Structure 1
Amino acid sequence: MSRTPTSEHAASDGPARPLALDRRALAPDLARGVMLLVIALAHAHLFTVFIGGPDKAPTVADRIATAGTVMFVDLRGYPMFAALFGYGLAQIHRRCREQGLAWPRIRRLLRRRGLWLVVFGLAHTVLLFPGDILAVYGLVALLLVGVLRLRDRTLVLLAVLWLPVAAAAHALVAADDAMTGGGMPRLPDGFVNELLFRLSLFSILGVMMFISTLVPFVIGVLAARHRLLDRPHEHLRLLRAVAFIGVPLAALGGLPLALDEAGVWAGASPGDVLVTTALHQVSGYAGGLGYAALIALAAVRPGHRQGPATTALAALGRRSMTFYLAQSVAWAVLFSSYTLDLPLTSPAVGAGVAVAVWLTTVLLAELMRRRDMRGPAEAALRRLTYGPSR
């Protein structure tokens, strides 16, 4: 593949135009809608740690919820979203080229989008949630936009070389926690204390998420280049292989850490944690990509006759940024010391809360679809990126 496509030489003086909603492919939006459930489960589980810490006497349901979260949610949903971010950025790049825009203009456009994502993300961190992904994705867009022009072979090599770096980083942090007895801090009381808590924790989590983003981001760019989610019917064999290998591999790779976290495998040494965490991280990439492929396969089935559930999930996916932020509003209302301050200490209860919050967002997204309402966060980002609509 040529590094600089010939269409990039045909510069255009016209404005860049975003994609109309009625031309969006089903699979990426469906994937975003489903993955918001995974994000909700991960965040709700995180709040059980923030609020109560490890339960000294967990029930069977709590052990199952903890093990299931480790095997199917933690570091599984995040790679999926990172891959979709890379996919979306590559789609914008391709559409701009098709409109005749030169690379310098495309680069400015994508960096402007990345800059505003950083702004949105920092506001999200300060006001609501310490594990923000928007600022991380924005930073990736600012620093790594040139990746969009690399050859396929170079993208694969980059992902392969960075994979052990990401796994080692997570493993070393986990092993250090095991040796020092550290771990996630507890959520303090008071608005100012919680604000400082979010900022300090994000300074750590943000670095780890950036390290974890590069591999799925690059794979997402590669997938978009070959239209895997836009045209899933043309890639059924590959999608089946990724789905039916990736998801079981993630479950098996997360099993040792799941047994440790659930209290079934007691007495794990720092060396054990080093191995199990690295295995958990690497298998999580397989799981995230497997989820994306599985959802793409599901999107092929309905054809042009979408059922109400598929339509509602796709509506949620089209407004994923809005409802990602809405989830954080829900957590702040439910768990902050200056709001309802609910005592969430059970992972099983946390999973139930996550499902309830996600179902609420599905219903709200469907109501917005019926009223032809865009997500306010998506509308703001689109306007800030492309300028006022013409």
Structure 2
Amino acid sequence: MEPTAQRIDTLDVLRGLAVLGILVMNIQFFAMPMAAYLNPSAYGSLDGINGLVWGVSHLLTDQKMMALFSMLFGAGIVLFCERADAAGRSVAKYYYRRNLWLLVFGLLHGYLLWSGDILFLYAVCACLLYPLRNKPVRTLIKLSVFFLAVSSALYLLTGLGLQSMSGEEIAAEIMPQWRPTAEQMGEELSAFQGGWVSQMSVRVPMTQEMQGLAMFMWGFWRAGGLMLLGMALFKTDIITGRAERVVYLRLMWLGLAVGMPLVIFGIFWNFNNDWQLTSMFIGSQFNYWGSVLVSLMWMAIIALLLNSHRMSALTSRLAATGRMAFTNYIMQTLICGFIFYGHGLGLIGQVERWGQLSIVFGVWALQLWYSPIWLRHYRFGPLEWLWRSLTYGQLQPLRRV
């Protein structure tokens, strides 16, 4: 395999893993009140198989797949700029046009379909991080740690600030997000069980919060820091699968020996504290940092498997799914929206965690099936083609000759 082809294939496979893995957590946002995504004790049973599903999902995917996706996006920033420069194009012109269109897609996705959108966040991060793309690897890593630490510190400081708030203020401003009352959850479920218009009464304020305060308190610093790390990993060929084998072995063991125990400790800490409000600000720190190491572990495992040619049966399907990551991400929204919201089957609040995971497996099978079939006939996924055409201001060739 040629080095350039290997680099792109590894990125595609990792992207395929990330876009499939992120659904394990995202489906909870569709299937239950939003608070259950942050606080699993807020809604639904955690007994038996449901508790096992939550625990394994949290350990292996919660924030890990978004971390991997963010690092890949950061690598993509450098790759896009390299390609544009090699083609003699104005890098800044097409880069900002590309990400401003992504921002538009994010607004439409968030306000019209699902408030858990990450496209808007990624577009904002990409626009602000562009001047840093040419920084040395060491500088990028330092900036990455700084960005990640800012978000962590903001959460800790907010938690400490609760001491100065009255019980009434906490009940009004914080608890609806963490442990809403049965009445508050009933209102949310009722809105999403209704038609598309009735859903907007809940979706719009949720999206405003996600793309507003939450983005600047947490999202920008977290995703931005991981994108900077992705740039560094791209420049060192770690994320492309071309680093020395010992590098991946070290990253794998770092995730296994430090990252996963940290996440597991956080699980026990939160349950021992009955998922009180401190879990939102202090208990979340274990997974916040542990997830970065676990995502690097995932990256290392995939690189080791690809380099040993032990994933041949699955590689092409994952790579195709990754090449259509934008289309597949939005397709997941459309499928889950139909299953759980009132304009479709309206099953929100009725599917337990084990059932949600069964749906995830079904979506995985579907996307691993149709992605390679589509790319056999077309050069890009439908939304990738649209995004590319808007970026370059003209329709791009779609059908393979």
Tell me the TM-score range normalised by the shorter chain.
Answer: 0.7 to 0.9
Q: Compute the displacement of 1:290 (Å).
A: 2.2
Q: CA RMSD in A?
A: 2.8
Structure 1 gaps of 5+ residues are 1-20
- Once the two structures are overlaid, the 10-residue window that deviates more, 180-189 or 62-71, is 180-189
Q: After superposition, where does 1:359-378 map in structure 2 within 5 Å?
A: 359-378=365-384
Q: Is the alpha carbon distance of 1:24 and 1:234 closer, same or farther for their aligned partners in structure 2, counting shifts above 3 Å?
A: closer
Q: Is the alpha carbon distance of 1:235 and 1:107 closer, same or farther for their aligned partners in structure 2, counting shifts above 3 Å?
A: farther
Q: Compute the displacement of 1:239 (Å).
A: 2.0
Query: 1:336 — aligned with what?
Result: 341
Residue 144 (structure 1) aligned to one of 124, 129, 132: 129
Q: Compute the displacement of 1:141 (Å).
A: 1.7
Residue 275 (structure 1) aligned to one of 269, 277, 282: 282
Distance 1:173 1:200 in 2: 21
Distance 1:165 1:332 in 2: 34
Q: Compute the displacement of 1:22 (Å).
A: 7.2
1:112 has 2:121 as partner: no
Structure 2 gaps of 5+ residues are 37-41, 179-184
1:294 has 2:279 as partner: no
Q: Compute the displacement of 1:246 (Å).
A: 2.1
1:224 has 2:234 as partner: yes
Q: Is the alpha carbon distance of 1:297 and 1:22 closer, same or farther for their aligned partners in structure 2, counting shifts above 3 Å?
A: closer
Q: Compute the displacement of 1:272 (Å).
A: 5.4
Asked whether the 8 Å contact 1:243–1:290 carries over to 2, the reply is yes
Asked whether the 8 Å contact 1:114–1:138 carries over to 2, the reply is yes
Distance 2:154 2:350 in 1: 30
Asked whether the 8 Å contact 1:30–1:317 carries over to 2, the reply is yes
Distance 2:337 2:276 in 1: 35
Q: TM-score, normalised by structure 1?
A: 0.84
Distance 1:272 1:229 in 2: 32
1:83 has 2:71 as partner: yes
Q: Is the alpha carbon distance of 1:122 and 1:57 closer, same or farther for their aligned partners in structure 2, counting shifts above 3 Å?
A: closer
Query: 1:213 — aligned with what?
Result: 223
Q: TM-score, normalised by structure 2?
A: 0.81
Q: Compute the displacement of 1:46 (Å).
A: 2.3
Q: After superposition, where does 1:12-161 map in structure 2 within 5 Å?
A: 25-50=8-33, 54-55=42-43, 57-101=45-89, 105-161=90-146
Distance 2:225 2:256 in 1: 17
Asked whether the 8 Å contact 1:246–1:287 carries over to 2, the reply is yes
Q: Compute the displacement of 1:86 (Å).
A: 0.5
Residue 204 (structure 2) aligned to one of 196, 199, 206: 199
Residue 326 (structure 1) aligned to one of 320, 328, 331: 331
Residue 380 (structure 1) aligned to one of 364, 381, 386: 386
Q: Is the alpha carbon distance of 1:145 and 1:236 closer, same or farther for their aligned partners in structure 2, counting shifts above 3 Å?
A: same
Which amino acid in 1 is paired with 2:381? G
Query: 2:182 — aligned with what?
Result: none
Q: Compute the displacement of 1:110 (Å).
A: 0.9
Q: Compute the displacement of 1:258 (Å).
A: 2.9
Aligned length: 362
Q: Compute the displacement of 1:195 (Å).
A: 2.4
Write the deviation string for residues 266-309 of structure 1: whole angstroms up to 9, x where unpaired.
Answer: 53554455332112111112222222222222221229xx7332
Q: Compute the displacement of 1:356 (Å).
A: 1.1
Q: Percent identity?
A: 22
Q: Is the alpha carbon distance of 1:125 and 1:32 closer, same or farther for their aligned partners in structure 2, counting shifts above 3 Å?
A: same
Q: After superposition, where does 1:179-190 map in structure 2 within 5 Å?
A: 180=171, 181-183=175-177, 186-187=188-189, 188=191, 189-190=194-195
